[in-house]
Amino acid sequence: MVKKGAVKNISISMEDRMGGRKHVTHVVGVESFGLSADELGAEAQRKFKTSCSVTKLPGKTETSKEISLQGNLMQVRGYLAVRSRF
């Protein structure tokens, strides 16, 4: 699949919940590298043994999805580097 325009970066961020005791890791922009957010979310859920949800980002022109993983999973960077093979 070929798309016009610049390739968007993959954004990985962590959000604190419940006063720093619980965390949520958000991953956005995996579609620009040819990865399916739904498949990657299901695979990451099995690999990291955590809860995962995939939601569409708000906005009419926004076509990418956000993967939300329960927990402080900043090691997902290494997993995406191996998974995307770039």
CATH number at 32 reads 3.30.780.10
Assigned domain for 3 exists:
no
**Res 2: pLDDT:** 66
C-alpha pair distances (Å), 21 with each of 71, 72, 74, 85, 86: 10, 10, 16, 34, 34
- DSSP structural state of residue 21: T
- pTM, whole model, 2 decimals? 0.79
Tens of pLDDT along the chain (86 residues) come to 566 777 788 888 888 888 878 889 899 988 888 888 999 889 888 988 889 999 998 887 778 899 998 888 777 777 776 665 54
Look at residue 1 and tell me if it is in a domain. no
- Taking the chain, what is the end-to-end CA distance rounded to the nearest angstrom? 16
Q: What are phi and psi of 77, to 5 degrees?
A: -60, -50
CA separation for the pair 16, 12 (Å, rounded): 14
Domain of residue 60, residue span: 11-84
Structure tokens given for 9: 């970066």
